[in-house]
A and B are shown apart, each in its own frame.
Chain A
Amino acid sequence: MVSESNLERLLTDGQFVVCGEMSPPQGADKAAILKKCDYFRNVVDAVNLTDNQTAIVRMSSVMSSVFALEGGVEPIMQITCRDRNRLAQQSDILGAYAAGVRNVLCLTGDYMTFGNHPDAKGVFDLDSVQLIHTVADMNEGRFLCGEEMKTPPRMFIGGAANPFAEPFDLRIMRLGKKIHAGMRFVQTQPVFDFPRFDRWIKAVRDEGYDREAYILAGVMPVKSVKALDYMRESVPGMSIDDEYIDRMKSADDPKEEGVRICVETIKRLKETPGVSGVHIMPVMWESITPRIVEESGLLPRPAGGQPE
C-alpha cells in the first residue's frame, strides 16, 4: 500500500473492484455533483471525475473530486496533459491530496478540436507516461525538478490503456512503460469486442503486467444502437463487435438490452484471469449504475468504502 486509498486497499485485499464515472457539470453547480453521488454511494468503490472530457469545458476535476468526497464517494481524479503544464499538474496534485483525494488517473487528453473551444492552444508539456512518473516522484517526496518537498502526497496512481487499437505490440509496450513509470492501476476503453480484449489481456498476462498493476476493464451501458454506431464511427480508438450492434438493433426495448449487455460483459470480465475489476462509464446516464452493479451480483460492496 502506498496510499490511504480505499480502492488500493480493496485491490490489495484481492477484491474484485467496481469503479463508476461522473461528468462534472457544465456550470458552477456543486449540488449537481452531490446529487450524482447518491447513485454511487455504497454502490461502487470509487468514481472517476473526468477532466474536461472530449475537450468540453466543465467544472474542474480537482474541485469536483473534493465535492465527491463531501458526497461520501471516493474520487479518482482524472488529470490530462492537454490543459496544464508540469507546474499546474504538480500544484493540482498537491491541492487535491491536501483536500483528501487519494486516487489520480493520468491521461493525455482528447484533442482540442473535438470540443467546444476548438481554437484553444493545447499544452502537452508532459505526456501521460511522464505525468505518471511525475506523480510517482511526488509520492516519494520530490518535485519533478528534483527538489524535495516537506509534505509529500501519497497518491494511488492510475492510467489508461486501449486494448483495441493498433499497433498491438506498441500498445503492450506502452503499458509496460506506464507501469515502469509508476502506474499501479489501469482503466481500459469499454469492452465491446471480446476477441480483441481477450487477445490483449493474454498478452498482458504473458508479460506479467497484471501482477504489477491492477487491470480494471471498462464497460459502458448504452441506451440505443445509435450510441454504438456513434462510438464505432466517431470515438477515437473504439472497436464494437457486430454482435452488439445486431442485438441493440433488433431489441424491443433497447435500453433494457443495453443494461443486459453491460451486465453480461461484467460477469464475463469477472471470470477473465488478469482482470481485477470493472470501470463502469455510463455517459450521461449515471443513474443506471446501481442497477448494473446489483444485477452483476457485485452488491453489497465490501465495507470501508467510505472516505474518512
Chain B
Amino acid sequence: MIVAHRKNIQDLKSLLAQHKRILVLGCGTCVTVCLAGGEREVGMISSALRIAYKLDEQEHDILELTIERQCENEFMEQIIENVQNVDAVLSLACGAGVQAMAERFPNTPVYAGLDTKFIGILQEQGIWTEKCAACGKCVLGEYGAVCPITRCSKSLLNGPCGGARDGKCEVSPDTDCGWQLIYDRLKAIGQLDRILEPAPMHDWSKSHEGGCRKIVREDQRIVVK
C-alpha cells in the first residue's frame, strides 16, 4: 500500500488560513489502512483545526467527508456538490489522490494534508516500512525477492558497501542492511549463485528519471469515435 503520514497541524492551519469554508476529505483506501487519512483521521484533524482556529478567535467552517478513493473519478463524482460549497479542500489522500482531486475540480484550491512516504507494509503494529521504490524495472526475481534498490540505502545492485555492521545499515542502526537480507534469503533458498556475477547497470529510464511516467494499454481503452 501507499504509506503516508499526517502533516503538522500548525502548518496546515497557516496553509489554509485564507479560506473560510474548508472540506477535510479522507480517502478510504491505502491511507485509511495506514491510519493517516481515513475517516477517523479526518475527524481528528478537523477537530484539531477547529480548536487551533478558535484559539486565534478566527471563524472557519470545517466540513468532514471521506470517499472510497480520491484517485478515481467514479468516487469523486459523489462529492461534486460538497466541493462546490466550500472555499478549499484539505485532501488526506496520497499525492496521487490530491492531484486527481485538483484535476477534477480545477477551480477549487486543493491542499495536501499528508506527506506521502512510500510503498510499503505494516511491519508490526505501529511500524510501517518501505518495500518498493516503483523503479519501473523489477529485479526482485534476481535477488530472492528482497529489493536491492529499496532495501539498500545506496540502491547497490552489487552490494554490500563497506559500511554495514552487524547486519545493520551504516545510515541507521535501526535499519537492516539490505544486502545482509539478500544474502540470507538467497542462501536459504539455495540461490546464492544468482549474485556471483556482476549485475549490470540499472535502467533508470524506466523510473522517474525517464520523466513523468504513463502506461497506455490499447486493449483497455475506450475510444469514442
Q: How far is the CA of A236 from the CA of B155 in the complex (A)?
A: 17
Number of A-B contacts (CB under 8 A): 89
Size category of the A interface is 35 or more
Q: A111-B153, A126-B201, A180-B198 in contact; A174/B160 too (CB < 8 A)?
A: yes
Q: How far is the CA of A130 from the CA of B162 in the complex (A)?
A: 16
* Segment 169-197 of B: residues with Cβ below 8 Å from A: 170-171, 179-180, 183-184, 195-197
Q: A86-B201, A125-B204, A170-B183 in contact; A177/B166 too (CB < 8 A)?
A: no
Which residue of the partner chain A has the closest CB to B182? A170
Q: Are A166 and B204 in contact (CB under 8 A)?
A: no
Q: Which residues of A contact B171 (CB under 8 A)?
A: 111, 113
Q: How far is the CA of A127 from the CA of B171 in the complex (A)?
A: 17
Q: How far is the CA of A81 from the CA of B201 in the complex (A)?
A: 12
| B162 in complex: contacting residue of A108, A133, A181, CB < 8 Å | A108
* Segment 173-205 of A: residues with Cβ below 8 Å from B: 173-174, 176-177, 180-181, 189
Q: Which residues of B contact A81 (CB under 8 A)?
A: 154
Which residue of the partner chain A has the closest CB to B202? A125
B99–chain A nearest beta-carbon distance, Å: 22
Which residue of the partner chain A has the closest CB to B179? A170
Q: How far is the CA of A85 from the CA of B22 in the complex (A)?
A: 44
The interface size of chain B toward A, counting residues with CB under 8 Å, comes to 30
Q: Which residues of B contact A114 (CB under 8 A)?
A: 170
Q: Are B163 and A130 in contact (CB under 8 A)?
A: no
Q: Which residues of A contact B200 (CB under 8 A)?
A: 130
Digit string of B155-167 for contact with A (CB within 8 Å is 1, else 0)?
1111111111111
Q: Assess whether A160 is interfacial by the CB under 8 Å rule.
A: yes
Q: Are B163 and A111 in contact (CB under 8 A)?
A: yes
Q: How far is the CA of A167 from the CA of B155 in the complex (A)?
A: 18
A53–chain B nearest beta-carbon distance, Å: 13
Q: Which residues of B contact A124 (CB under 8 A)?
A: 154-156
Q: Are A166 and B166 in contact (CB under 8 A)?
A: yes
Q: How far is the CA of A235 from the CA of B184 in the complex (A)?
A: 24
Q: Are A177 and B197 in contact (CB under 8 A)?
A: yes
Q: Are B158 and A128 in contact (CB under 8 A)?
A: yes
Q: A111-B163, A125-B204, A236-B165 in contact; A130/B155 too (CB < 8 A)?
A: no
Q: A111-B170, A124-B156, A128-B158 in contact; A236/B163 too (CB < 8 A)?
A: yes
Q: How far is the CA of A167 from the CA of B197 in the complex (A)?
A: 17
Q: How far is the CA of A126 from the CA of B156 in the complex (A)?
A: 8
| B157 in complex: contacting residue of A86, A127, A181, CB < 8 Å | A127
Q: How far is the CA of A269 from the CA of B170 in the complex (A)?
A: 28
| B160 in complex: contacting residue of A133, A160, A170, A181, CB < 8 Å | A170
Q: Are B198 and A236 in contact (CB under 8 A)?
A: no
A122–chain B nearest beta-carbon distance, Å: 7
Q: A177-B198, A237-B170 in contact; A127/B165 too (CB < 8 A)?
A: no
Digit string of A71-87 for contact with B (CB within 8 Å is 1, else 0)?
00000000001100010
Q: Assess whether A56 is interfacial by the CB under 8 Å rule.
A: no
Between-chain CB contacts (< 8 Å), 12 pairs: A86-B201, A108-B161, A108-B162, A111-B154, A125-B201, A127-B158, A128-B156, A160-B162, A161-B162, A166-B166, A170-B160, A236-B164
Which residue numbers of A lie inside 8 Å of B, CB to CB? 81-82, 86, 108-111, 113-114, 122, 124-130, 133, 144, 160-162, 165-167, 169-170, 173-174, 176-177, 180-181, 189, 236-237
